[in-house]
Structure 1
């Protein structure tokens, strides 16, 4: 079968190629540039622990270690601290793991390095998409530039940015709003108080800082500073930028400490959402499908989630064939999640700006709720709550109650509808799972996130197994029957054991998708129900007309 073609060699396209390689799917990455574009130090991304876990899987931890995690986050208004979040082990009083702050240049360089080690992936420089044709068997792509030719692939994914040629060739509309927010950003090498603590300062004291400034540490003593600017106005001059830098540093340090300006930029925040993310064998991902960024929302993080979601579905289609239900679920899940996040931002944003008519609205609506106001801002920057938490695919076609008679086991017995008496779990169906320690059947130990990205996972909660060698519990309790049930599933799955999972009791069985989202949790081993849910997770059996191109 032909490789998957990926248009665009930015972080999303590179990550998608790595995800596909993890599923043994070959890919060709078309890079319109003759060489990797020069990136600026001020271009960074903040990734949730769940998305940072994807980088660990793709880059063998090197990508993760090239970023910075924080000890804490502070939100201030004038000189008063309104919110403080301490990161770390919850058992020790922390609020969980820190986000990962990473420079986009380091991220892209790390992804390219990891991809260079993959025999299944190839980057083609100087190849800009010019035309796309698709038929029942695949996609043909014509490129111009140094590598002008026709390319043949099984699928095409447009990861070619906000001005996506692939999206335009498909005739997909890209509605939304321009310049929702405007920011100035600078990367400084400077020693600031509270090293390792990120800071959001509302209405900071001193001249020149503006209504809001954020400081987020990076490795090697570098900080990224962001200033909120009026949505419409003249671009900042270099003198005005230096004035903001000096005024902000003076407010925090009492005087201007020595600093080195490594890079700066001014950018507007756009909010746009493509009408369609799939057209037959062609898909959109990353900035080609959505633009976002207000209130700390990270478009790059959503792009990486796109790649993780799409890769395992394409791998099933590439290796075994897949139903339209499975392939359509990419748009249903990811467009739905991004759209919900954009709507939440639109609802909250007017309440968090302090000028004009919205200042009056904010005062009347949020009077006496200053802490909640600060918490909304904090959530947006830390990837929590409606403004940034990992999505829950509750309305996905892969998360509906399994239909009665769904699928048939290898023994030809029909699968009954799953029982409503499901197990308990702190993760809702469709939600992102927690990263707990797990043990494989060969006795090897790892964390759950390290096992994601290939097959379905079946995780048995079995307290006490950690103190015994696997040979002692492989033939005890539920294990023999559960191992047999997993071997009979309609798609490949790996059986793991964990000592505990939040909210689950002993003998709970979790079924987890390759992208780390929970399908269901059951109590005990019920093979027909486990089969029915696994069949549901793959979108049912491959369609008899799999090769047709839907309109």
Structure 2
């Protein structure tokens, strides 16, 4: 079986390769560059808790070595404090985002990929031809060694100017220069270590309408200044003036600082018309561009990778229906489109002047709250997506029940007992290519596993899990939010709740698992049905996908 070809060696491409490798799928990552990501301290990434957990499972160590979690967030309008979130235990803001230089994230994922035998990274390889047939994809690259590659599927993770998207003939409509920011990375000691700050309409000269200061490790900070839509020219002198005026406004007197990096960040909003063309897919910036009002495009790219990985893994090992493969576009494109729509609707009131908001009491405060939500990963601008209308939803059954998680949303990270008797977090079992079946059984924590595995409903549930049409793992939880005893949860490999059942219902559990895989595999886009490899049985030897150069 040929590997999956991934075009693009950025965070999304490496994340997808590592997620597929964790499920026994070999990949070839084609990098058009030399394999080096130049450090740019002013180019940073903000990861939400779900994407941090995803990167951790992939073995990316740099997110904690070179990233920092904020201890608090404060939003000001002029001099007035409007909103404060205190993160960590006892805080009202929940788990904080993680902020790190993007080159550190890329390097960490690259190092993890190089240590993974199922991932083959090839540099100086620019794609110029893509051909598809019923059995796979053929790609030609030019570079130091022009080569033809053969793969089972192709994923374009090659950025905003995606060659893959252009070769597939997919349109990329949207809005250009939605926002522009002057950006600077500084090393400076500020009176609020670890706190992120948003100032709207600060009464400091020469800084503009909005300033954001977000901490990085080693006393470094990233500052963003919203630029006017007129296309103001940012010169080195004007940027240094912004830095000094901002530090003076924050501290009363500008403290000593070291300027690490600067730039102008222009944000576009675009959405590819199609994310799947036969055996080829788009992910990350190749599929969407967003980032205005605090939204995070890289977060969405990592969610693309997590969503697509288990579906491609199922297709590679056992074949897949078009329903399953189409669900990637249906779920992820819909979620990103909703995010873009929310930003477009909020933009006129947050960035425009005058209008009704001038006369409605409290309107400005509400708008500031909306903008803060975008930065913190809350509300319509920032909250993690759910897929309640997925084509993989099971038929409604009478035994289905409600729990504290919406169907299609990410399950809570409760403690569970694994088949080997170990007590682990539920999210630790994600990303392994298996469905998770979780029985809520209060009291099992005080019994020895050898007793309760053969008691009550467990033998019947274990038999039902073994009979499912896709590989699954049975876990037991002492409790789950708003779930009654003997509730059975079915969870996708990416952590989305499929359904919750009141008791053990083998037939309904089977129907739900069959719906998750999109029904029986089709011949188009499917793997060899006789292939013995599975998520726990990686193919050996590892195919490289390289064919003879026929030029």
Shorter-chain TM-score: what band? over 0.9
CA contact (8 A) 1:83 1:371 kept: no
CA contact (8 A) 1:125 1:147 kept: no
Runs of at least 4 residues off by over 6 Å:
none
CA contact (8 A) 2:154 2:280 kept: yes
Counterpart position of 2:48: 48
Distance 1:173 1:121, change over 3 A: same
- The one of 439, 442, 463 equivalent to 1:484 is 463
- The one of 439, 442, 447 equivalent to 2:417 is 439
CA contact (8 A) 1:507 1:524 kept: yes
Task: State the distance in 1 between where 2:279 and 2:189 align.
Answer: 51
Task: State the distance in 1 between where 2:60 and 2:213 align.
Answer: 29
Task: State the distance in 2 between where 1:546 and 1:233 align.
Answer: 46
CA contact (8 A) 2:135 2:525 kept: no
Counterpart position of 1:363: 358
Q: Report the CA distance between 1:250 and its aligned residue.
A: 1.0
Counterpart position of 1:235: 233
Distance 1:545 1:249, change over 3 A: closer
Q: Report the CA distance between 1:249 and its aligned residue.
A: 0.9
Q: Report the CA distance between 1:370 and its aligned residue.
A: 3.2
CA contact (8 A) 2:131 2:139 kept: yes
Task: State the distance in 2 between where 1:15 and 1:60 align.
Answer: 9
Counterpart position of 1:466: 445
Distance 1:62 1:446, change over 3 A: farther
Alignment deviations for residues 385-424 of structure 1 (CA, whole Å, 9 cap, x no partner): 111111111111012x42xxxxxxxxxxxxxxx5234222
CA contact (8 A) 1:142 1:151 kept: yes
SS in 2 for 1:134: strand
Q: Report the CA distance between 1:495 and its aligned residue.
A: 1.1
Alignment deviations for residues 205-258 of structure 1 (CA, whole Å, 9 cap, x no partner): 211221111111111211111110012323211111111111111111111111
SS in 1 for 2:116: coil
Task: State the distance in 2 between where 1:186 and 1:466 align.
Answer: 52
Counterpart position of 2:66: 66
Q: Does 1:28 align with 2:23?
A: no
Task: State the distance in 2 between where 1:100 and 1:280 align.
Answer: 36
Counterpart position of 2:128: 130
Q: Does 1:83 align with 2:61?
A: no
Extract unaligned runs of 5+ from structure 2: 528-551
Distance 1:256 1:273, change over 3 A: same
Counterpart position of 1:405: none
Matches within 5 A, 1:190-229: 190-229=188-227
- The one of 356, 371, 374 equivalent to 2:368 is 374
Task: State the distance in 2 between where 1:113 and 1:468 align.
Answer: 42
Q: Report the CA distance between 1:545 and its aligned residue.
A: 4.7
Q: Report the CA distance between 1:65 and its aligned residue.
A: 4.4
Q: Report the CA distance between 1:39 and its aligned residue.
A: 3.3
Distance 1:46 1:528, change over 3 A: same
Task: State the distance in 2 between where 1:287 and 1:39 align.
Answer: 20
Task: State the distance in 2 between where 1:379 and 1:197 align.
Answer: 16
Q: Does 1:505 align with 2:500?
A: no
Counterpart position of 2:4: 4
Task: State the distance in 2 between where 1:504 and 1:215 align.
Answer: 41
Task: State the distance in 2 between where 1:220 and 1:392 align.
Answer: 36
Task: State the distance in 1 between where 2:494 and 2:233 align.
Answer: 41
Distance 1:61 1:434, change over 3 A: farther
Distance 1:398 1:82, change over 3 A: same
SS in 2 for 1:96: coil
Alignment deviations for residues 457-503 of structure 1 (CA, whole Å, 9 cap, x no partner): 11122222233332232222322211111111110111112222222
Counterpart position of 2:289: 291
Distance 1:313 1:64, change over 3 A: farther
Provide TM-score, normalisation by structure 1: 0.93
Q: Does 1:422 align with 2:400?
A: yes
Distance 1:298 1:172, change over 3 A: same
Task: State the distance in 1 between where 2:474 and 2:60 align.
Answer: 22
Distance 1:425 1:66, change over 3 A: farther
Counterpart position of 1:145: 143
CA contact (8 A) 1:352 1:362 kept: no
- The one of 151, 160, 163 equivalent to 1:162 is 160
Q: Relative contact order, CA 8 A, sep 6+: which one is greater?
A: 2
Counterpart position of 2:428: 450
CA contact (8 A) 2:70 2:195 kept: yes
Q: Report the CA distance between 1:34 and its aligned residue.
A: 1.6
Task: State the distance in 1 between where 2:259 and 2:525 align.
Answer: 55
Task: State the distance in 2 between where 1:14 and 1:335 align.
Answer: 21
Task: State the distance in 2 between where 1:466 and 1:195 align.
Answer: 41
Distance 1:44 1:467, change over 3 A: farther
Q: Report the CA distance between 1:544 and its aligned residue.
A: 4.4
Alignment deviations for residues 103-123 of structure 1 (CA, whole Å, 9 cap, x no partner): 101100100111111000011
Task: State the distance in 2 between where 1:179 and 1:128 align.
Answer: 28
Alignment deviations for residues 55-79 of structure 1 (CA, whole Å, 9 cap, x no partner): 1100165534432111111111111
Matches within 5 A, 1:329-368: 329-355=327-353, 359-364=354-359, 366-368=360-362
Provide TM-score, normalisation by structure 2: 0.93
Distance 1:351 1:420, change over 3 A: farther
Alignment deviations for residues 528-547 of structure 1 (CA, whole Å, 9 cap, x no partner): 11111111111111114555
Alignment deviations for residues 265-292 of structure 1 (CA, whole Å, 9 cap, x no partner): 1021100000000000000000000000
Q: Report the CA distance between 1:361 and its aligned residue.
A: 4.1
Task: State the distance in 1 between where 2:41 and 2:524 align.
Answer: 49
* Stretch deviating more after TM superposition (510-519 or 53-62): 53-62
Extract unaligned runs of 5+ from structure 1: 403-417
Distance 1:332 1:51, change over 3 A: same
Q: Report the CA distance between 1:157 and its aligned residue.
A: 0.4
Task: State the distance in 2 between where 1:95 and 1:525 align.
Answer: 37
